[in-house]
Amino acid sequence: MNMAVAPHRNNLKASIVVREKLDFKLDLHIPRYWYGNDAFMTRFWGGVFATFPEGERYFISSLRPFRDQVINSNLQQEMKDFMCQEGQHGLVHTEFNQILQEQGMPIDKLIHYQHRMFNFLLGCFSAKYNLAITAACEHITALMMECFFTKKDTMAHVDYRVRAMLAWHSIEEVEHKAVAFDVMNVVNVSYLTRVSAMLFLVFFFTIDSLRMTNYFLKADGFSFLQRMKLILGGISKLFGQDGMLAPMGKSFLKYFRRDFHPWQQPTLAHYQVWLDVYEQTGDPIAAGEAFHQAGK
């Protein structure tokens, strides 16, 4: 099957725009427990976000081998824009990582580990499998970002600068969510490869995120028992029936349908709010605030 261009795009305004040098005022005024003083949520998401710079370099590396196989000029341009957006995400999350490091988190060690892990994936798996892992990551990231901002309550107690950084990252993840998937279709990655990469990712992501949470909580000085209590309580906050990530369950499962395409998933209703406020003010913090306030 050769589907070079997104066939189900339901919002033509969600085109990929590369935005550079956005200032989120990320400095040491960010509180230590920036997720509403919640140690588990701060360290869980801090661990996930700490992966982004290396992860986003991996996404770029996994698309690069296929540049010459894509002949559709729209998709070629989208691949370039995808790489530029992910590059910018990496830069801003590196700034955020530096703050976590200065607040006592062992970021350097973590990045060293991630660097080796992503190189291992690139070296040991085929180019198509790495592309399928990237497409799976893009689906998960886009759904996760939607979970952050669909309901106002979810991010209500997060520091406003971190929230603005995530709002920008979220809208750009929505804009480029189909690029890796479209490349996967052009180079004929099989259905089996696509779904096995997703299963591999979910298993690995869950285990590794909780491992990093434990690592960060340990650096905070929590004892083993305190950490286990925080992690067990945190798992239900995330994955329980009313958990933060529960709304993404149905959309996640759609990835396993043979005829799935990322643009079948509707774009966040208030996506345009971020664009409008950013265009009017040039201020990504004001845009992030308006975007958050526009949630349900």
Tell me which residues touch Fe ion (CB under 5 A).
Answer: 86, 89, 173
Q: Which is nearer to Fe ion, 159 or 173 (CB)?
A: 173
Q: Rounded to the nearest whole angstrom, what is the least distance from the CB of residue 89 to Fe ion in the complex?
A: 4
Q: Rounded to the nearest whole angstrom, what is the least distance from the CB of residue 137 to Fe ion in the complex?
A: 7
Q: Which amino acid is at 99?
A: I
Q: Which is nearer to Fe ion, 63 or 273 (CB)?
A: 63
Q: Which is nearer to Fe ion, 177 or 270 (CB)?
A: 177
What lies within 8 Å, CB to CB, of 275 at 6+ separation is: 13, 171, 287
Q: Rounded to the nearest whole angstrom, what is the least distance from the CB of residue 257 to Fe ion in the complex?
A: 21
Task: Determine the Cα–Cα distance for residues 193 and 196; give it in Å rounded to an integer.
Answer: 5
Q: Which is nearer to Fe ion, 89 or 292 (CB)?
A: 89
Q: Are 230 and 111 in contact (CB under 8 A)?
A: no
The first and second tokens of residue 23, run together, are: 């200032």
Q: Rounded to the nearest whole angstrom, what is the least distance from the CB of residue 248 to Fe ion in the complex?
A: 15
Q: Rounded to the nearest whole angstrom, what is the least distance from the CB of residue 228 to Fe ion in the complex?
A: 31
Q: Which amino acid is at 256?
A: F
Q: Rounded to the nearest whole angstrom, what is the least distance from the CB of residue 115 to Fe ion in the complex?
A: 17
Q: Which is nearer to Fe ion, 138 or 159 (CB)?
A: 138
Q: Which is nearer to Fe ion, 93 or 227 (CB)?
A: 93
User: What are the CA-CA distances from residue 177 to residues 18, 23, 61, 258 (Å)?
Assistant: 14, 24, 17, 18
Q: Which is nearer to Fe ion, 91 or 232 (CB)?
A: 91
Q: Rounded to the nearest whole angstrom, what is the least distance from the CB of residue 2 to Fe ion in the complex?
A: 23
The first and second tokens of residue 213, run together, are: 């949470």
Q: Rounded to the nearest whole angstrom, what is the least distance from the CB of residue 165 to Fe ion in the complex?
A: 11
Q: Are 18 and 89 in contact (CB under 8 A)?
A: no
Query: Closest residue to Fe ion, Cβ-based?
Result: 89
**List of long-range contacts for 112-118, beta carbons under 8 Å, 24+ apart:** 114/50, 114/51, 114/54, 114/55, 115/54, 118/54, 118/55, 118/57, 118/58, 118/61
Q: Which is nearer to Fe ion, 70 or 217 (CB)?
A: 70
